[in-house]
Amino acid sequence: MSGANEYKPSLTRGLWALTVRELKKWLKDPVMVLMLVLQPLIWMGLLGKSMRIDALFSANNINLPQQIPIPSNAVISPTIPPGTPYVFLNGTMLSQMFANMGTNIMQNTFGVADYFSYMAIGMISMIVMTTTMFSGMSIVWDRRLGFLDKVLSTPVPRGAIIFSKVLNATLRAMFQATIILALAYVLGLQLSSTFTLLNLLGIYAAIFLLGVGLSSVFIAFSLRSTRMERPMQIISLIMMPLMFASNTFFPISLMPDWMQAIARVNPLSYVTDAVRQLTILPLDTSALITDFAYLSIFAVVLAAIGIVLSWRYLTK
């Protein structure tokens, strides 16, 4: 007779099978893989290289004349002989002074002198955010095409269905983050002296936590929305505020108070800071611990909410 009962459907087995399905799906699609590379390349290469805030303060940009005449009564100095109408400043030296001040301003504001490095890391969090939110949406298709119902009629643990989506979204985000980091390095990202290859593990951990939190909630949401457009609208609605009210492109400390309040609860700020600590900044361990503590809480709380909501839907 049938030996159906002798098989043990397990969470790990089902999780693995469903995740491999997703990975195969996108690895088999060359256009998709190309997009995964092109998208960060465009952001990084065009936006990253065009917004050169640090260049504002360069000696070239200040471009002072060789000699700068100053009315002598504007100078408080006893050594200037009376009757001298003008004193002259060395323009080259002054430019250099301004440039040095600029570097100081950059250093104090962004923690690093070059804005490209600062922004490149911000982009990692941005892309991780969009990728995790969007890739959870594939469950809408699974439901529409009847795949979800078929899987639900098998004895695979329901958790495997949800976790496979979360895992897929997160793996995809990690893959993209790696590409961005590599591209950024090629395009001139300056790593701090505290960077080691071991730091990559920390970077992946930070991305994983953000990915798990965001995708769990979005999968639950996608699962419950009857229209494909709904999750899309929500994503585009919350993407911008999350991106701008964080340290992705600009430091929080210079923002107005009300915005700082948002930025301080925004998980994107913590991922970005964690990754910056691990790459371009001289490592500040206590800051890193704060980042990871926050991200862990974020991931656990959101994953719990997301999984409970999805679970209820799948076992209705």
Provide the binding-site residues for another protein, judged by CB under 8 A.
1-5, 7-10, 13-14, 16-18, 21, 24-25, 28-29, 143, 145-147, 149-156, 224, 226, 315-316
Given the complex with another protein, which of 28 and 74 has the nearer CB atom? 28
Given the complex with another protein, which of 14 and 211 has the nearer CB atom? 14
Strand partners, 68: 89
CB of 36 to another protein, least distance (A): 16
Q: Are 150 and 163 in contact (CB under 8 A)?
A: no
Given the complex with another protein, which of 193 and 315 has the nearer CB atom? 315
Q: Which of 89, 103, 114 is nearest to 59 (CA)?
A: 103
Single-letter residue type at 51: M
Given the complex with another protein, which of 26 and 57 has the nearer CB atom? 26
CB of 154 to another protein, least distance (A): 4
Distance CA 112, CA 122 (A): 13
Distance CA 223, CA 217 (A): 10
Strand partners, 89: 68
CB of 305 to another protein, least distance (A): 19
How many angstroms from the chain centroid is the CA of residue 171?
15
Given the complex with another protein, which of 125 and 164 has the nearer CB atom? 164
CB of 142 to another protein, least distance (A): 9
Tell me the DSSP string of 83-142: T--EEEEEHHHHHHHHHHHHHHHHHHHHSSS-HHHHHHHHHHHHHHHHHHHHHTTHHHHH
Strands in the chain per DSSP E: 67-71, 86-90
CB of 195 to another protein, least distance (A): 38
Given the complex with another protein, which of 12 and 67 has the nearer CB atom? 12
CB of 313 to another protein, least distance (A): 9
Distance CA 292, CA 147 (A): 37
